[in-house]
Amino acid sequence: MIKIAITGNIASGKTLVEKLLIQEDITIIDADIVTHNLFEEDNDVINQVCKLFKPFASDIKNNKGGIDRSKISNLAFANKSLLKGLEKIIHPKVKQAFNEFFIKNNDKDIVIGVVPLLFESGMNEQFDCIIMITIDSDVQTERLIKRNNLSKEQALSRINAQVSQDEKIKKADFLINNSYDIENTKLQLQDILSKIKSENKLK
C-alpha cells in the first residue's frame, strides 16, 4: 500500500484536489473531517478545548454541545499559545484516526490522506509520498478573503500562522501549482498519479 499525503497552506486548493481524487476512485481520509467529528463527538476533546479557551471566551459550544469552530478560529489564529494548545489536543487524536484508517484499508494499492498541517503535526512521517499544493501568494490571499469573508489583515494572520509555503516545498515529493484553472490542476494531478503508479508498478 502506498500512502500519499496531500497538503498545502490555507486556501491553496486542497478541497479541489480532493474532489478530483474522488473522481479517480481513490480511498481518502481528510484531517479536517476527522477534526470536525472530534469537535462534535469526542467528549474528551470538547472538555479540553473548553478548558483551554475559558479565559478568552465564556461559551465556545454550538447548539448541539460540540465546539463551534467559527467561535474559536479567530481567537486561535490571533494567539499563538492558544493555537499551539489546540494543536496539542487535536493532533494526537487525528494521528490515531489515520493509523486506524491505514489498518482498515491495508488491502488498497493507494490511499490518500488530506492533511493541511502535515508538517506542523509531524504526520508527514506516516506517509510514503507527499504532494504539495502551491499557490501564488496574491491569489491565496484573495481566495481566503472571499471564501471566509475576512479582512485582509485577518487573512494574512491565518496565512502567517502556518509554516511558510517555501519551507514546505523543500519537503514535498511532488508539487501542484493551483494558481490557474481547474483543468490545469487536474492534468498536473493525473501526471503525478501516473508517475507514482509507474514507480511502484501499479496499474
Q: Is there a contact between 158 and 117 (Cβ–Cβ < 8 Å)?
A: no
Query: How high is the pLDDT of residue 35?
Result: 97
Tell me the pTM.
0.92
Q: How far apart are CA 168 and CA 160, in angstroms?
A: 13
Cell of 71: 467561535
Q: What is the pLDDT of residue 129?
A: 96
For residue 61, what is its C-alpha cell? Answer: 459550544
Question: Considering only CA atoms, which of 17, 12, 157, 195 is closest in space to residue 75?
Answer: 157
Domain boundaries of the chain, sorted by first residue: 2-194
What angle in degrees, to the nearest 10, is found between the helix axes of 69-78 and 152-160? 70
Other C-beta atoms closer than 10 Å to the C-beta of 158 total 20
SS3 111: strand
Longest CA–CA separation in the chain, Å: 55
Residues 6+ apart with CB under 8 A from 47: none
pLDDT at position 182 is 96
* CATH number for the domain whose boundaries are 2-194: 3.40.50.300
Q: What is the mean pLDDT of each run of 10 residues along the chain (203 residues)?
A: 97 96 94 97 97 93 94 89 95 97 97 95 96 96 94 91 93 96 96 95 82
Residue 77: per-residue pLDDT: 85
Bridge partners (DSSP) listed for residue 110: 2
Residue 119 near residue 130, CB atoms below 8 Å:
no
Say which residue the cell 483543468 belongs to.
183
pLDDT at 10: 94
Q: 172's torsion region: left (phi>0), alpha (psi -120 to 50) or beta?
A: beta
State in Å, rounded, how far the first CA of the chain is from the last one. 13
Q: Residue 92 in contact with residue 42, Cβ under 8 Å?
A: no
**Residue 113 is inside which H or E element, if any?**
strand 110-114
Q: What percentage of the chain's residues is helix, strand, coil (to nearest 5)?
A: 60, 15, 30
Amino acid type, 179 = S
